[in-house]
Structure 1
Amino acid sequence: MLQEASSKHGLAAGEQCTPQNPDWTIDQGWANYTAQEHAVWKTLFERQTKLLPSLACDEFLDGMAKLPIGAEGIPDFRRLSDVLRKHTGWEVVAVPGLVPDEVFFDHLANRRFPSGNFIRKPHELDYLEEPDVFHDVFGHVPMLMNPVMADYIQAYGQAGLRAQCLGKLPQLARVYWYTVEFGLVEQANGLRIYGAGIASSFTESKFSVQDLSPNRLGFNLERVMRTHYRIDDFQESYFVVKNIAELLELASIDFGPVYARLDSGPEYQPGDVLPADRVLHRGTGKYHLDRRQGG
């Protein structure tokens, strides 16, 4: 299973790597993982599970505890799916990496979560351009054990197919980014992580909740759909839901009127704070300012 460090996966690798199956699914090839690849999983798993009990939301920790996931090695998708189906009707399917949007949405709409079957190299522990099996499984799958998140992500898949037809995919993608990937939630013990992009990142887990630099703003759908995001670094702003159940409201929204309003009006930059925002923490912006100045 070990790949050259320069290799790309899935859609990023070009047409020559398109799988034969129209839905881009492949066999996970669990028996082919090398000892080195299992060791990378172990390193990532152990440091995140030491860190997250004080940073991740209750729903994430509960889901993790009920899944066949451990430090011993990369999980078998078949075993994960057996447990997921019993709880929320989801399953994990292996794909070679990034897949076309319509394929991704169709999987989600049918309660199939596509996960890359490859894992990052030892020198890529803290940053990877493409989502790998650690991001996809460790970051996403625990929250799929939660009925609210299970329904929300399925609804997002259904909405994505419609948004693609209407030419509104960039705006809808921002909702996924600021919730499923980089969302925070208010809980009795403070702000906690539920987004997979944060939960699977050692450095951003601490930055998102504890650092003074980023803004932490109350979630507002239209505000989020007008807001650009960072794909190359930590987020400048994190949007916070009051509880995970708030996501159910998004799952039942008719996006048609929202899309109509988005045809005009402003677009916001990642670090903007607006007068109408519910500001939980106004960030200093120091981290990104230092990065821009080369500090």
Structure 2
Amino acid sequence: MSADGVTLAPPPGARPDWTIDQGWEHYAQAEHDVWITLYERQVKLLEGRACDPFLRGLDSLDLHRTGIPDFARINEELMRLTGWTVVAVPGLVPDEVFFDHLANRRFPAGQFIRKPEQLDYLQEPDIFHDVFGHVPMLTDPTFADYMQAYGKGGQRAMSLGRLHNLARLYWYTVEFGLMESPQGLRIYGAGIVSSYAESVFALDDPSPNRIGFDLERVMRTPYRIDDFQQVYFVVPALQTLLDVTTHTDFAPLYDRLATAADIPIAAIEPSDRVFTRGTQAYADAGGRTAA
């Protein structure tokens, strides 16, 4: 949706729901090689870092094979496990289109892959972020239901003018969420598991705060879109995410948020359950701008 509220038309070649054909047969070997390089180094790194549902999803979908996955192939297993499918889109889609896909158990994924010189950082999500990062979690029934509930919640948030608050929930869970486990904190957020550097930073670096998940706290906290996060929120289990989206009446919550100030991104609140009180040294040094 544009800034003035006018619904954007899909680009040439896209269907009314903004989907396109993946065109798997048109990928060059160099593009498959980028996928293989990214996949192999992430899988080595994520053992002992990613949560068990993510690792099981990787095994179930067999995302390695000979390169970039064919959506038609992985959708057969994904549909069997949780009733979801992956649909190709030409890039970022309007909010209402995104929420409609999620509400109907369709995950919109970009079809392009980054260049070899962009292995470590890419601002716009590509097929590696979207498929490697997001889709394995959609094999887990609880997380799959959470994503559908989020899509339905997004449609309501748009009608109530609180989308920016709900976007923070997506950011700090689906993209950059951490989870407790008997072995310690584990990653489930797609923005972390698809990033070599942030997979290390999110768990090991002393800079960020790591705080127990609380719905209202998360929805009052801004986020970084262009660098490592200054705060990560930790859920005790995936069921927590589904419970808060299906058992919470968001209307009175949005009423409270309308008059509540944002919580500064690096703040620690008295009511926070603190796993790590970060030094914020990385952010204070300027982050990527100092590199």
Q: Following TM superposition, by how much is the alpha carbon of 1:20 offset from its aligned partner in structure 2, in angstroms? A: 3.7
Paired residues for 1:2-17 under 5 Å: 17=11
Distance between the aligned counterparts of 1:49 and 1:111, measured in 2?
26
Match of 2:89 among 89, 95, 100: 95
Partner of 1:57: 51
Partner of 1:136: 130
Distance between the aligned counterparts of 1:194 and 1:289, measured in 2?
26
Partner of 1:69: 63
Distance between the aligned counterparts of 2:265 and 2:156, measured in 1?
26
Q: Following TM superposition, by how much is the alpha carbon of 1:163 offset from its aligned partner in structure 2, in angstroms? A: 0.6
Q: 1:264-283 deviations in whole A, cap 9, x for unaligned?
A: 12202221111111101100
Partner of 1:6: none
Distance between the aligned counterparts of 2:266 and 2:13, measured in 1?
39
Residues 10, 18 of structure 2: 8 Å contact kept: no
Match of 2:242 among 237, 240, 248: 248
Distance between the aligned counterparts of 1:218 and 1:68, measured in 2?
32
Partner of 1:274: 269
Partner of 2:5: none
Distance between the aligned counterparts of 2:272 and 2:153, measured in 1?
26
**Paired positions, count:** 282
Structure 1 unaligned regions, length at least 5: 1-13
Q: Following TM superposition, by how much is the alpha carbon of 1:68 offset from its aligned partner in structure 2, in angstroms? A: 2.7
Partner of 1:86: 80
Give me the identity figure in percent: 60
Distance between the aligned counterparts of 2:277 and 2:76, measured in 1?
43
Q: 1:150-173 deviations in whole A, cap 9, x for unaligned?
A: 000000000001111111100000
Q: Following TM superposition, by how much is the alpha carbon of 1:71 offset from its aligned partner in structure 2, in angstroms? A: 5.3
Matched, 1:264 2:269: no
Matched, 1:202 2:206: no
Q: 1:172-195 deviations in whole A, cap 9, x for unaligned?
A: 000000000000000011000000
Higher mean C-alpha displacement, 266-275 vs 35-44: 266-275
Matched, 1:157 2:127: no
Runs of 4+ off more than 3 Å = 14-20, 292-295
Local SS of the residue matching 1:277: coil
Partner of 1:146: 140
Q: Following TM superposition, by how much is the alpha carbon of 1:260 offset from its aligned partner in structure 2, in angstroms? A: 0.7
Match of 2:175 among 175, 181, 201: 181
Q: Following TM superposition, by how much is the alpha carbon of 1:17 offset from its aligned partner in structure 2, in angstroms? A: 3.6
Partner of 1:4: none
Q: Following TM superposition, by how much is the alpha carbon of 1:72 offset from its aligned partner in structure 2, in angstroms? A: 2.1
Distance 1:91-1:232 versus aligned 2 partners, 3 A rule: same
Q: CA RMSD in A?
A: 1.5
Letter in 2 for 1:142: P
**TM-score between both structures, scaled by the size of structure 1:** 0.93
Matched, 1:192 2:183: no
Partner of 1:222: 216
Matched, 1:232 2:206: no
**TM-score between both structures, scaled by the size of structure 2:** 0.94
Structure 2 unaligned regions, length at least 5: 1-7
Local SS of the residue matching 1:44: helix
